[in-house]
Structure 1
Amino acid sequence: MKQKHKKMVAIIPARGGSKGIPRKNIRLLANKPLIGYAIETALRSKYIDDVVVTTDDDEIAEISRLFGAQVIIRPKELAEDEVPLDPVIYHALTSIEDENNQQFEFVATIQPTSPLLSTLTLDTMIDLMYREQYDTILSVKAEPHLFWIKSGEQFVPLYKERKNRQYLDPIYQETGAVVISRRGVVSEKSRIGSSFTIFEVSRNEGIDIDTYQDWESAENILHRKNIVYIVDGDYDTGLGHIYRALTLANRLVFRHNIIFLMNRTKELGIQKVHEFLYPVKTYSDDDEMFSILDETKPDIIINDILDTEPAYIQNLRNKGYFVVNFEDLGEGAEYANIVINALYENSYPPDNHYYGYKYECLRDEFYIFPTKKPVPDVNNILITFGGTDPNDLTSRTLHALENLDLTAIAINVILGKGYQPKEKLYAYVSELRKKGFRVDVKENVRLMAKEMGEADIVLTSNGRTIYEVASVGTPCISISQNEREVRHLFVHNSHGPLSLGLAYTVSVDDIATAIKRLIDDYPLRQEMNKKLLKFDLKGNLGRVLSLILNSHEEWKRHDAS
């Protein structure tokens, strides 16, 4: 029911002779005729009494009526290219007033080429018009750039001082989306009275479709999904799940809305996500988490939290969410829409489970840096055992290198954020340096691909890092931190890395023997390099993204039917 107010009409001009995009007003934009968006926006307004389309085109007229608008057929002389909008609006206004035998007090011109205009924005403008008693309100968007104009034969800047964009004085561009006018100022020559103001809309709502690029931008925005990542990282679990979520988010964010939903006690993971400037909502228990989800209304939920319970996944599904789980070995996996697991193989996976190396998501840097070409002599050894290294394999490996007396080889150690015995390690490294060892310890390394590519041998745990090393092709030695990592079969199936087994069964001597073997056997390192690089891991990210988005679309179609 419309609120009581002074009578208002919305007039939508839509002629048939569009030149930039032929027939654009009735072309399907995200499966709806372009003009349908403006009509529906106006009809939902709590202030607008009548919605009128003025057109010279029979098809536009029929489709406009189908969407609930009244139609005024404009004369041919008002449908020419050079005719401005003012006489068109005046003709439609006087025609509908005569037809309905009434006079309106306010007129809103709404362009069909601004399909992202929301009813909330429209009603906010109308409310401002009522409260402040303006003659006219125009929608605009901010354009904070360094502009120039041509004055005579010279170019003149439209700014006082050259500054970075965010510090410039604002310049506004009319969007054309909405012009609201008092009836008394609307004539064949103008719709702008002496008392007027502007109303800034968002860049999305300010899109005015004139080109195919504008059309693509609008369609991408209309197809945007709300994707919520439920993921955590701390000193116990490390940051591997966080990095994967960020890798996917970095590709999805251009076309979708991304939100991270995280346990507020897991500060390490929250800090990492904040570094990438993604919005983070935190919760302390399941009730608060589901309350946030109710507010967010996600289309897709991505769980990267290891083993899930059936009740949790069923609750998500019952709320109508499409649920994607990563590396879920819990009983809840049975109830997810799809489960993606690059680490742990399954010979007979269920139809909704996707296993194996083809689903590993490499970070962007691994697409940039070149692959490794082994050289006869080993000059650089890299030690990197993940975010936490719970078995302190870092120190164990350094002891092995000390026993081998490898003072001529550069030893690079990369510590994760969750590595605990830092003070003890740095003290040990100091002693090694005094003995002539060339040891360098790094933290917060941004470009692991570069570090792996520069190394001749990498020692690492049997988690996702194995895939990263494989994508670079550097010969490596793998040690599993726990029973879960033992189940990562890529090491065994690829025959690329040299696997030493489970951490508690591996001695310093075992590590030393493996390192010496690789140093002494150049043909073996060449063979390992070839075996690793034959697995093309760089096409995986696109495969995973397509799997998630296409599965969601298929689920929506099936659910709708």
Structure 2
Amino acid sequence: MTLHKDLKIIAIIPARGGSKGIPRKNIKLLSDKPLIAYAIDTALKSQYIDNVFVSTDDEEIAEIARLYGPEVIFRPHALAEDHVPLDPVIYHALTAVESNKGIQYDYVVTIQPTSPLLQTTTLDKMIEKMIKGSYDTLISVKADNHLYWAKKEDRFTPLYKERKNRQYLDPIYRETGAVLITKRAVISESTRIGDNISLFELPEEEALDIDTYQDWTIAENLLKRRTIVFRVDGDHDIGLGHIYRALTLANRLIFHHDILFLMDKSRELGIQKVREYSYPITLFSDETELFAILSEIRPHIIINDILDTDTKYIQMLRSEGYFIVNFEDMGEGAEDAHIVINALYEKSYPSKNHFYGYMYECLRDEFYIFPRKIPESAVNTLLITFGGTDPNDLTRRTLQALEDLGLKKLMIKVILGKGYRPKEQLFDYISELTKKGFNITIKENIPLMAKEMSEADVVITSNGRTIYEVASIGTPCISISQNERESRHLFVHNSHGPLYLGIAYTVSSADIALAIHRLMNDYMLRKEMSEKLLKCDLKGNLDRVLNLILNKYREWEINEAS
């Protein structure tokens, strides 16, 4: 919006020295900067404000304020008492400046230093609305949609007509104190409020007014908030393990950061899973569109969970100034990422930016909740689960092994992932086995895998992240690699916990039958397996990974700024 060039606008920031709730709060450091500096920066960056003044009674506040660029007006001590409202304070500063500079202002903008999250773009929108609407006064507000009551004499009365869910209530607007804009002609020693008044609803975060230590803590957390993009996919070929890990990290980060999922629109399976968690998703069709989206979003951190990357892709991300975190990246691009985290595939001599081993496995929340397994003397329940897609159909191969063993008294639970394809053939086969007297239950879309694992006496699974989930519970298990990449997962070898049979194309149903028979008939072996699995404590890993990402980011951010 183009404003009339002859309009004169002044911003006045009132900052007395005698704040009581948080002593000396106006110059107290908030995220490494004095509180008052935020309001000063916001005002000075405005495209409409001609002059910025701080009104204070305190020499220390004045000196610190001057470091950030405004001019200072000293107010009489009588105008710094607790009971004095802002109207005479603003009037004093305005008339003093007009007298000293010989300027007559058209609009006066009061900005409170206790609103450090106010953005210049928002301030300028308020000024534009004020002038375009020709209001006498414009006040920043926050909308509250709650059931309010008032006390009149000795009775409580509702401030609503009808009890409704919060989202259906008419909002009540509360002044934030952040900004009040007034026509110069309206201002007197006793008021800044004219007849023609309008309100401006601030974005929720910008509406924060620091009055208590709790407010201060909230402001600090919001100022540290960053935008984090998860670049992740899931489909029938790569499964959903990467999606689950990204969701696990996002579920923790969302409390302190803004989260966005950036996903290939052709991989619908993973997109469906993320949508179940209601995270914002932006889809792209090619790399050009991907970088155009990133250029618009300007995230601080990009977490790639897309397996191997190439040098060109990572260098392009770095050239845009993003902090890059890669998971399970064994490609050429890994050397150019800021950090690479790989819980599955370990190296004896990793690069300084690579972090390998079971200590970096990210368990879902449910695995922190369910109790550890205490093996029983007899095997009553066997769980078969081969991940999201089971490309080698190890599920059917395991059922064939159980058929060969004739284990009709055993409770057999089969859990299928979303990407499992030969369902009809499997269902037909299980129907045949059921007719023969086998006790088989099929489950899909399991909400709590930890519960299923803790209830089983033996788990048969693939050699990916599921192994860590089983290990966290301590259920004895048999493991088979789906591919060469999974065969490099050294946890099964180093922990000596799972009974590892090898890569899928080398493992027959007879091999699986032999392993099941061995485990079922050797209680001491199952007990020993459980103890070895539980020695690898995995339940502190998620905090370790989150701290690693955020601490390395902060180190990088400081270095970039210096």
Question: What TM-score, normalized by structure 2, do the two folds share?
Answer: 0.98
In 2, Cα distance between the equivalents of 1:5 and 1:536?
Answer: 70
Superposed displacement of residue 554, structure 1 = 1.3
Superposed displacement of residue 556, structure 1 = 2.2
Pairing 1:81–2:91 present: no
Root-mean-square deviation (CA, aligned residues, Å) is: 1.3
Question: What letter corresponds to residue 49 of structure 1 in structure 2?
Answer: D
Question: What letter corresponds to residue 464 of structure 1 in structure 2?
Answer: R
Question: What letter corresponds to residue 275 of structure 1 in structure 2?
Answer: E
5 Å-filtered alignment, 1:431-446, equals 431-446=432-447
Q: Look up the match of 1:288.
A: 289
Pairing 1:497–2:519 present: no
In 2, Cα distance between the equivalents of 1:213 and 1:247?
Answer: 28
Q: Look up the match of 1:344.
A: 345
Q: Look up the match of 2:466.
A: 465
In 2, Cα distance between the equivalents of 1:309 and 1:283?
Answer: 19
Superposed displacement of residue 153, structure 1 = 1.2
In 1, Cα distance between the equivalents of 2:403 and 2:296?
Answer: 57
In 2, Cα distance between the equivalents of 1:509 and 1:383?
Answer: 16
8 Å contact kept, 1:227–1:299: yes
In 2, Cα distance between the equivalents of 1:437 and 1:3?
Answer: 85
Q: Look up the match of 2:214.
A: 213
In 1, Cα distance between the equivalents of 2:455 and 2:401?
Answer: 21
Q: Look up the match of 1:329.
A: 330
Specify whether residues 89 and 402 from structure 1 end up closer, same or farther in structure 2 by C-alpha distance, changes over 3 A only. same
Q: Look up the match of 1:240.
A: 241
Q: Which secondary structure state, in structure 2, belongs to the residue aligned with residue 117 of structure 1?
A: coil
In 1, Cα distance between the equivalents of 2:143 and 2:527?
Answer: 58
Pairing 1:542–2:547 present: no
In 2, Cα distance between the equivalents of 1:102 and 1:346?
Answer: 71
8 Å contact kept, 1:141–1:175: yes
Q: Look up the match of 2:72.
A: 71
In 2, Cα distance between the equivalents of 1:150 and 1:59?
Answer: 43
8 Å contact kept, 1:2–1:46: no
Q: Look up the match of 1:163.
A: 164
Q: Which secondary structure state, in structure 2, belongs to the residue aligned with residue 161 of structure 1?
A: coil
Question: What letter corresponds to residue 46 of structure 1 in structure 2?
Answer: Q
5 Å-filtered alignment, 1:464-483, equals 464-483=465-484
Q: Look up the match of 1:390.
A: 391
In 2, Cα distance between the equivalents of 1:434 and 1:145?
Answer: 59
**Unpaired segments of 5 or more residues in structure 1?**
none
8 Å contact kept, 1:3–1:46: no
Q: Look up the match of 2:225.
A: 224
Question: What letter corresponds to residue 483 of structure 2 in structure 1?
Answer: N
In 2, Cα distance between the equivalents of 1:453 and 1:440?
Answer: 16
Superposed displacement of residue 351, structure 1 = 1.1
Specify whether residues 24 and 410 from structure 1 end up closer, same or farther in structure 2 by C-alpha distance, changes over 3 A only. same
Q: Which secondary structure state, in structure 1, belongs to the residue aligned with residue 206 of structure 2?
A: coil
In 2, Cα distance between the equivalents of 1:60 and 1:186?
Answer: 26
- Say how many residue pairs are matched: 561
In 1, Cα distance between the equivalents of 2:410 and 2:6?
Answer: 83
Question: What letter corresponds to residue 364 of structure 1 in structure 2?
Answer: D
In 2, Cα distance between the equivalents of 1:523 and 1:345?
Answer: 30
8 Å contact kept, 1:234–1:266: yes
Moved over 4 A (4+): none
In 2, Cα distance between the equivalents of 1:308 and 1:3?
Answer: 53
Superposed displacement of residue 3, structure 1 = 6.8
Superposed displacement of residue 213, structure 1 = 1.2
Question: What letter corresponds to residue 439 of structure 1 in structure 2?
Answer: I
5 Å-filtered alignment, 1:369-448, equals 369-448=370-449
Q: Percent identity?
A: 68
Question: What letter corresponds to residue 261 of structure 2 in structure 1?
Answer: F
Q: Which secondary structure state, in structure 1, belongs to the residue aligned with residue 441 of structure 2?
A: strand
Q: Look up the match of 1:278.
A: 279
In 1, Cα distance between the equivalents of 2:158 and 2:152?
Answer: 10
Superposed displacement of residue 2, structure 1 = 8.9
Deviations 1:400-457 (A, max 9, x none): 1122222222111111111000111111112222222221111111111111111111
In 2, Cα distance between the equivalents of 1:560 and 1:43?
Answer: 21
Pairing 1:312–2:320 present: no
In 2, Cα distance between the equivalents of 1:53 and 1:560?
Answer: 28
Question: What letter corresponds to residue 40 of structure 1 in structure 2?
Answer: D
Question: What letter corresponds to residue 197 of structure 1 in structure 2?
Answer: S
Q: Which secondary structure state, in structure 1, belongs to the residue aligned with residue 485 of structure 2?
A: helix
**Unpaired segments of 5 or more residues in structure 2?**
none
Deviations 1:92-111 (A, max 9, x none): 11111111112211111110
Deviations 1:94-144 (A, max 9, x none): 111111112211111110000111111111111111111111111111111
In 2, Cα distance between the equivalents of 1:73 and 1:65?
Answer: 13
In 2, Cα distance between the equivalents of 1:32 and 1:20?
Answer: 19
Moved more, 175-184 or 398-407: 398-407
5 Å-filtered alignment, 1:523-534, equals 523-534=524-535
Superposed displacement of residue 10, structure 1 = 0.9
In 2, Cα distance between the equivalents of 1:379 and 1:185?
Answer: 83
